[in-house]
Amino acid sequence: MEKAWKLLSQDAKLSPENVKEPLKEIRRALLEADVSLPVVRRFMKRVEEKALGQEVIVGTTPQMALVKVVSDELTELMGSKGAKDLEPGFPQVVLMAGLQGVGKTTACGKLALYLRKQKKSVLMVATDVYRPAAIDQLVKLGKAIDVPVFELGTSVSPVEIAKRGIEEGRKLGFDAVIVDTAGRLQVCSFTVIVDTAGRLQVCSFTVIVDTAGRLQLCSFTVIVDTAGKLQIDGDMMTELKDIKAAIKPTDTLLVVDAMTGQEAANLVKTFNDEVDISGAILTKMDGDSRGGAALSVREVSGKPIKFMGVGEKMDSLEQFFPERMASRILGMGDVLTLYEKAATAIKEEDAQAQMQRILSAKFDFNDFLKQWQNMNNMGGAQMMKLLPGFNKISEKQLYEAEKKFKMYESMINVMEEEERADPDLLAKSAGRRRRVAQASGHSETEVTSMMASFTQMRAQMVTMSKMMKLNTAEGQQD
């Protein structure tokens, strides 16, 4: 993807010729991200139309103009700018649905912790009576994050447990109740042939198979209604509907594994048609997924992704911002998420000051050092994965990068105050570079390579500053 952008950078305007190659790359990237072909086609058409009518704003490059068009369209496809939160209510009742193994139980715990951080009291309800281990898992999770779990073992019906769980929640004055449900197995489409007179006719319905693709459960009921249409219900889907009717949740969230790829479209459609979801949680976004599932959810259901899971730990849940996902899909990194993570690791004033530095396109060795120190506070070089162009970095490269940063740190530490504030002093003087090399115990070549890295990073910051200004300017026009 980065290659295509480079091809554009010398031109002054967007033209059919210079956008052709980058657009091809974008198309390829979307298909690689497992976005379904019809969605990609519609998307590319819109992007092309918008890109060609696009004026390139003075002070920015055509590259940035195209990135902006693509990123805006991607954002639009996934909803609109800004994250959607849970629906309000007292108590807030969140019904969790999804296939087995997607991370649903984990997501219950994460969501509970998310609500707890907002000073809300939370109760979790375990209704998966088919797998006693699932109840134990939720109870254990609850203990770990200090959130009580309501359960009645495996001999009471899930609908009854859910109902009594909500009653308990109301009675004890909990602000929110999260209901975990039994995982449906993989759903896939089949064709069957039946008609009202008992003769066979072609129609489509849903069968449940396990994750290995073996047929597991065919206990759907085929009811032929008076109009001769078939109504199909898997037992578990019926149960989910019954639970929903009994507890009237404020949110029904479908938990989707981000690695599901194109199949996500069918899955989301089935669940949304059956139980009318209010949104989705996309899990395992820390994996290799490029986000194709994220694009499908909104397209087929019209419902927003509200949260995403980015790890196995309980605090690995983030609100979902379509605009940030757009930049992640584009391989531009996720600078805003980085800044949000930074906000929890560094002080608000510091973050503001840094943001201002970036917006003013100033970047010196002090900033460089500060960023490295903040990065360290946030988990070290792993955070680099969120930087523009770094999302495909390997563990080995991360290790090397970390080593390099440490070396840079030792060089900056021995610089004079004026050198830190004005990097050009070092760039212009071999004598200064030699002194820094000697004092930090490194070679002059290494100091030169540090200067090169720094210059590159500074250039990136300048680009970022321009893009941020572009966004701010647009935000003000809206």
Question: Under the rule (CB under 6 A), what is the footprint of ligand GDP?
Answer: 98, 100-106, 183, 283-284, 286-287, 309-312, 316
Q: 158 vs 309, which CB is nearer to ligand GDP?
A: 309
Q: Tell me the residue length of the chain.
A: 478
- Structure token pair of residue 459: 């250039």
**In whole angstroms, how far apart are CA 12 and each of 21, 61, 186?**
16, 7, 50
Q: 317 vs 358, which CB is nearer to ligand GDP?
A: 317
CB of 23 to ligand GDP, least distance (A): 32
CB of 204 to ligand GDP, least distance (A): 27
Cβ–Cβ under 8 Å, residues 100 and 106: no
CB of 283 to ligand GDP, least distance (A): 4
CB of 177 to ligand GDP, least distance (A): 18
CB of 320 to ligand GDP, least distance (A): 12
CB of 402 to ligand GDP, least distance (A): 22
Within the chain, what is the greatest distance between any pair of CA atoms? 95
Query: Strand order in 305-309's β-sheet?
Result: 149-150, 122-126, 176-180, 92-98, 251-257, 279-283, 305-309, 317-319
Cβ–Cβ under 8 Å, residues 401 and 371: no
Q: 286 vs 409, which CB is nearer to ligand GDP?
A: 286
CB of 279 to ligand GDP, least distance (A): 16
Q: 258 vs 447, which CB is nearer to ligand GDP?
A: 258
Q: 141 vs 450, which CB is nearer to ligand GDP?
A: 141
Q: 38 vs 287, which CB is nearer to ligand GDP?
A: 287
Q: 255 vs 338, which CB is nearer to ligand GDP?
A: 255
